[in-house]
Amino acid sequence: MIALENTNCRRCFYHLGYHLAHHLGKLFMLVLVAVIAPVKLCYAHASGQSFVMLLPTDIYILGGVIVVGLTIVLLAVMPVTGTSGLHHSLKLWRQFRMRWLTRYIHMAALLYFFWLLSAGWYGTTDPLRNPLTLGFWAVFWMGLVMVEGLFFSVWRWINPWVFAYHFLRWLTGWHGVRGWPSWLAHWPGVILLFGFAVFTLADPAPTDPARLASFMFAYWLFTLIGMLIFGFRTWSRHVEFFSMIMASFGSLRMVCVHAGVVRFGLPGWRLMAHRQVGVLRSHISAAIFLLMLLGVGSFDGFNETFVWLKWIDVNPLDFPGRSAIIAPTIAGIILANLALIVIFGVLIWMGMVAASDQPQHRYSMAELIAIYAPSLLPIALAYHVAHYLPSLLVEAQYVALAIDGMFGKDVHVLGLQGFHVTDGFFKHLDWVRMIWLIQAGIVVAGHIASVLVAHHLATGRYGNRFETVISQMPIALFMIAYTWLGLWLLAAPKGG
């Protein structure tokens, strides 16, 4: 009897252990995934996935992982003098300022913003023809975020609050600016980013033009009031999350302005030169914001995979619609971000502990996260670009058609009469292979940039080179695992 009970107990423990391991496994996957592919617009164009599944993606993935691994090894064995030049930048030219032009551009941006809102409220209800839906999701969120991070700054020109803010201050004579409560730090921005993630990923109709217009107007007004109370810059750095995103990704640009001079360097040079992300000061709230940027975006890629849909008991071939999975999606966003923060924190802490036992080389977990979170930013940007690239190929055509027909269906501004939107490039193996490899290349490049930034952030924090390399080992493994996961996500079967 006792033996039987023992056996049962053992079985119980076995089952408990099995379930625990199973759930931990899920959690681990979720965490890893929590950094992969950013928020995708809601226009699903996954028809190329059946061709992707014919590609030898296992080999491609292995290749990508090896490249990132070799980069890490190279950095570990290279002398510091060999890597110290990575954050140098070249002077290109002095910044050219034209304030009168800036003023008119800001005014035009505001007017254009309101024109878009009016299009959302009163224009066509078809999201793929409405200028607001296309303008916000395709042009701004997909496209301009990429442009800001890769090529040049657009946000400083199109920010719809600049003119309104200065105009109202001038009109009312209000100049009193309240001080920002330091305990709030960047937390409001974190909360708003979470809200935006929920709207993007869990809301049943984020592309409904009128609804989008109302949300955007409410947010615009809220932001404007906040800016008038606390000041434009303060609000932009702590609350207005679009500005915070643009500043973060903008700090990765190869060509950017530094002290009035346009300079050129490797991706992330400004990050490495300043050890600060854009205008976000080094604080745990800013670090969480950066991690969330990655976590939320990654979950967006993951939430379409068969793996995730199986976890939440949804048949990917008979997807019940976003309305049916609002709660699991929100839970997924939260879990993915929490898991990412915890795992990232634990790994860098492990690196610190393994590297040195000197008290001067010890940091708290919050400090560590704040120090190293910027190293994940290049991955976040890479996933944003890679994840949205296929969608952009299609959405850009709708945007072109919308511009073409903006003066009525009989006037073709771009001469696109007879043009039909196509997704034929997703139905041809060679094209699909090329698109996939470009995406994969971007993902790998993002990880390499992240490895370089992480290496730079660690350099000089420890007593010697050996300790620095040891401190980097857990994060290096993290980067390798993430490369694998990011590429796997591109290749994974998707539904929903």
179 is a site residue for other proteins (CB under 8 A): no
367 is a site residue for other proteins (CB under 8 A): no
The residue from 79, 85, 260, 408 that contacts other proteins (CB under 8 A) is 408
Contact region for other proteins (CB under 8 A) — 57-65, 112-120, 360-368, 442-450? 112-120
160 is a site residue for other proteins (CB under 8 A): no
d(CA 1, CA 10): 14
Nearest to 198 by CA among 222, 186, 215, 182: 215
Q: How far is the CB of 404 from other proteins (least distance, A)?
A: 13
The residue from 129, 258, 283, 412 that contacts other proteins (CB under 8 A) is 129
Residue 188 backbone zone (phi > 0: left; psi -120 to 50: alpha; other: beta): alpha
191-250: which residues touch other proteins (CB under 8 A)? 204-205, 207-208, 231-233
Contact region for other proteins (CB under 8 A) — 24-32, 254-262, 322-330, 468-476? 322-330
Q: How far is the CB of 115 from other proteins (least distance, A)?
A: 5
The residue from 13, 18, 28, 170 that contacts other proteins (CB under 8 A) is 170
274 is a site residue for other proteins (CB under 8 A): no
Q: How far is the CB of 426 from other proteins (least distance, A)?
A: 9
Indicate the Cα dihedral angle 478, 444, 191, 136, nearest 10°. -170
Binding mask 130-149 for other proteins (x = CB under 8 A): xx------------------
Question: Which C-beta is closer to other proteins: that of 114 or that of 363?
Answer: 114
Contact 443, 63 (CB under 8 A): no
33-92: which residues touch other proteins (CB under 8 A)? 42-47, 49-54
The residue from 24, 66, 101, 421 that contacts other proteins (CB under 8 A) is 421
State how far the alpha carbon of 173 is from the alpha carbons of 53, 161, 167, 374, in Å. 62, 17, 10, 39
Q: How far is the CB of 299 from other proteins (least distance, A)?
A: 18
Nearest to 142 by CA among 237, 219, 45, 52: 45
Contact 225, 165 (CB under 8 A): no
The residue from 15, 19, 23, 427 that contacts other proteins (CB under 8 A) is 427
Residues pairing with 378 in the sheet: none
The residue from 26, 29, 67, 114 that contacts other proteins (CB under 8 A) is 114
State how far the alpha carbon of 70 is from the alpha carbons of 41, 251, 444, in Å. 34, 26, 12
112 is a site residue for other proteins (CB under 8 A): yes
Spell out the long-range contacts of 15-24 with Cβ–Cβ below 8 A and sequence spacing 24 or more: none
Residue type at position 3: A
Q: How far is the CB of 283 from other proteins (least distance, A)?
A: 21
The tokens 């300079």 sit on which residue? 263
Q: How far is the CB of 370 from other proteins (least distance, A)?
A: 26
d(CA 134, CA 128): 6
Residues pairing with 90 in the sheet: 264
By CB under 8 A, the count of residues binding other proteins is 83
The residue from 324, 327, 331, 354 that contacts other proteins (CB under 8 A) is 324
Question: Which C-beta is closer to other proteins: that of 217 or that of 363?
Answer: 217
Nearest to 212 by CA among 88, 325, 126: 126
The two most distant CA atoms of the chain are separated, in Å, by 91
Cα three-residue angle 331-333-337, rounded to 5 degrees:
115
122 is a site residue for other proteins (CB under 8 A): yes
d(CA 241, CA 33): 23
Residue 211 backbone zone (phi > 0: left; psi -120 to 50: alpha; other: beta): alpha
Contact region for other proteins (CB under 8 A) — 18-26, 114-122, 380-388, 480-488? 114-122
Binding mask 90-109 for other proteins (x = CB under 8 A): ---------x--xxx-xxx-
Nearest to 234 by CA among 192, 163, 186, 174: 186
Q: How far is the CB of 213 from other proteins (least distance, A)?
A: 11
d(CA 379, CA 249): 10
Q: How far is the CB of 208 from other proteins (least distance, A)?
A: 7
119 is a site residue for other proteins (CB under 8 A): yes
464 is a site residue for other proteins (CB under 8 A): no
418 is a site residue for other proteins (CB under 8 A): yes
Contact region for other proteins (CB under 8 A) — 147-155, 180-188, 319-327, 477-485? 319-327
Question: Which C-beta is closer to other proteins: that of 57 or that of 450?
Answer: 57
